[in-house]
């Protein structure tokens, strides 16, 4: 007796040609030593998919209207069965996505995986990181409470300081001269349509580049990247004893880590619950201290600590310089040593950046 599942699988494969499209992905060679350090990319994708799923479910109840958004969140929290848990899942998977992507970027920097021929892989990774941060910020605005309202006001104030273009940027950001219903509609469209589609496209290009250029193997001390010979050297390494196929072991490792992450996030969401909303937004209450989510808390404390004389200058220049520096990393150093012990400046810079970030975040909560 023939197996019905095998018959169905054969029928579907014959018409969709799944084996010819998925097969090369499963059989492509990866470095054998690429173990648990390489699971953060797939974990980020898992968080994104969970964000899409929970976001679709939330959008069936959430009302993107200035007069009803707050009430719809209250309805989810206290009336809709498991609505509070759905909100918590969406928030925690959003935070987990930022954290996993940050771990992925740090791992790439430590291993110098941005060097030739993976410069564009890094560039699209940075674009993805910026889009995910924008998702986190726009998601905070959709809570439409006091923190969201006045946090957006601070953001608009910062954008308004841009020479000449400031008023136009603020109008584009708010949908008008003030924060109102058009502002919420604009951020809802950004959060639900524009950014997810952009992220999906960037992920597709990023994964395609990984498949084309391969996953960089863990660096060895003394081994250098030479753009003239790197591709051939890499193919020789992973085609022999130092390589393996993506299926079954590496993909199983990714699945185990991502599955564990989903369980941890689900438990945290159940134990800690959703964030806010914290008070109906009221433009008449100006004596307030809006605090952003954890990923932007360092900005909150930085603005509080900056001397007024240099505040505007740093607000306008620091983000542009940092973003430009991120994009320029692979073009400033696309060859040479990859092992972190041979790159002391990079190691010290990483320590300095995260020390400043954690200290400013801690001060923000104080």
The tokens describing 333, both together, are: 């150093």
Q: How many CB atoms lie within 10 A of CB 32?
A: 17
| C-alpha pair distances (Å), 185 with each of 54, 75, 138 | 20, 20, 11
**Would the pLDDT of 1 be above 60?**
no
In three-state secondary structure terms, 162 is coil
Taking the C-alpha atoms of residue 221 and residue 36, their distance in angstroms, rounded to an integer, is 20
Share of the chain above pLDDT 70, in %: 99
Query: If pLDDT is split at 50, 70 and 90, which confidence band does 2 have?
Result: low
Sign of CA dihedral 89, 92, 94, 97: negative
Looking at residue 308, its pLDDT comes to 81
* C-beta separation of 88 from 269 below 8 A: yes
Taking the C-alpha atoms of residue 23 and residue 247, their distance in angstroms, rounded to an integer, is 10
Q: What is the DSSP secondary structure assignment for residue 341, as one 8-state letter?
A: G
pLDDT tens digits, one per residue of 272-330: 999 888 888 877 776 667 778 889 898 888 888 888 888 888 888 888 899 999 999 99
Structurally, at CATH architecture level, domain 31-365 sits in Up-down Bundle (1.20)
Q: What is the DSSP secondary structure assignment for residue 34, as one 8-state letter?
A: -
Q: What is the pTM of this model?
A: 0.92
Taking the C-alpha atoms of residue 69 and residue 62, their distance in angstroms, rounded to an integer, is 6
| C-alpha pair distances (Å), 286 with each of 151, 154, 289, 347 | 12, 12, 9, 43
The tokens describing 253, both together, are: 């490792």
Taking the C-alpha atoms of residue 121 and residue 334, their distance in angstroms, rounded to an integer, is 12
Output phi, psi for 227, to 5 deg.
-55, -25
pLDDT tens digits, one per residue of 103-125: 999 999 999 999 999 999 999 99
Per the prediction, the chain carries an average pLDDT of 90
**Would the pLDDT of 18 be above 80?**
no
- List all residues 6 or more positions away from 266 whose beta carbon is below 8 Å from its beta carbon: 89
Question: Alpha helices of the chain — where are they, by DSSP H?
Answer: 4-16, 18-27, 40-59, 69-78, 83-111, 119-141, 146-159, 166-174, 181-189, 195-213, 230-239, 249-272, 297-305, 308-332, 344-365
In three-state secondary structure terms, 100 is helix
Of 103, 167, 156, 160, the C-alpha closest to 129 is 103
Looking at residue 113, its pLDDT comes to 95
Q: What is the DSSP secondary structure assignment for residue 173, as one 8-state letter?
A: H
Burial (CB count <10 Å: 0-12, 13-18, 19+), residue 86 = buried
In DSSP notation, 65-87 reads STTTHHHHHHHHHHTSTTHHHHH
pLDDT tens digits, one per residue of 208-266: 999 999 999 999 888 899 999 999 999 988 888 888 888 888 999 999 999 999 999 99
pLDDT tens digits, one per residue of 168-205: 999 999 988 888 889 999 999 999 999 999 999 999 99
Of 158, 139, 153, 42, the C-alpha closest to 89 is 139
Looking at residue 293, its pLDDT comes to 86
């Amino acid at each position: 007796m023939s197996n019905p599942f095998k018959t169905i699988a054969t029928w579907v494969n014959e018409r969709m040609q799944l084996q010819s499209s998925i097969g090369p992905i499963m059989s492509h060679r990866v470095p054998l030593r690429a173990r648990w350090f390489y699971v953060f990319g797939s974990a980020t994708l898992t968080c994104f998919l969970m964000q899409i799923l929970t976001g679709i479910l939330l959008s069936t109840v959430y009302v993107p209207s200035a007069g009803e958004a707050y009430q719809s969140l209250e309805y989810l929290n206290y009336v809709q069965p498991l609505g509070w848990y759905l909100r918590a899942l969406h928030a925690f998977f959003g935070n987990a996505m930022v954290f996993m992507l940050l771990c992925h970027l740090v791992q790439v920097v430590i291993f110098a995986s941005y060097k030739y021929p993976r410069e564009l892989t890094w560039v699209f990774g940075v674009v993805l990181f910026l889009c995910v941060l924008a998702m986190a910020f726009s998601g905070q605005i959709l809570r439409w409470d006091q923190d969201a309202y006045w946090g957006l006001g601070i953001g608009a104030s910062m954008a308004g300081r841009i020479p000449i273009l400031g008023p136009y940027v603020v109008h584009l950001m708010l949908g008008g001269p003030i924060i109102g219903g058009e502002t919420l509609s604009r951020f809802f469209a950004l959060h639900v349509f524009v950014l997810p589609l952009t992220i999906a496209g960037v992920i597709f290009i990023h994964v395609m580049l990984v498949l084309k250029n391969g996953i960089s193997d863990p660096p060895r001390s003394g081994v250098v990247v030479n753009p003239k010979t790197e591709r051939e050297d890499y193919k020789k390494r992973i085609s022999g004893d130092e390589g393996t196929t993506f299926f079954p072991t590496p993909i199983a490792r990714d699945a185990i880590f991502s599955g564990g992450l989903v369980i941890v996030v689900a438990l945290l969401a159940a134990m800690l619950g959703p964030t806010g909303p914290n008070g109906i937004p009221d433009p008449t209450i100006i004596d307030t201290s809006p605090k952003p989510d954890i990923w932007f808390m360092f900005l909150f404390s930085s603005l509080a600590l900056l001397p007024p004389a240099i505040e505007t200058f740093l607000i306008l220049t620091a983000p542009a310089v940092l973003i430009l520096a991120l994009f320029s990393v692979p073009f400033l150093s696309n060859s040479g040593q990859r092992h972190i012990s041979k790159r002391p400046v990079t190691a010290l810079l990483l320590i300095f950046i995260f020390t400043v970030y954690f200290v400013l975040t801690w001060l923000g909560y104080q």
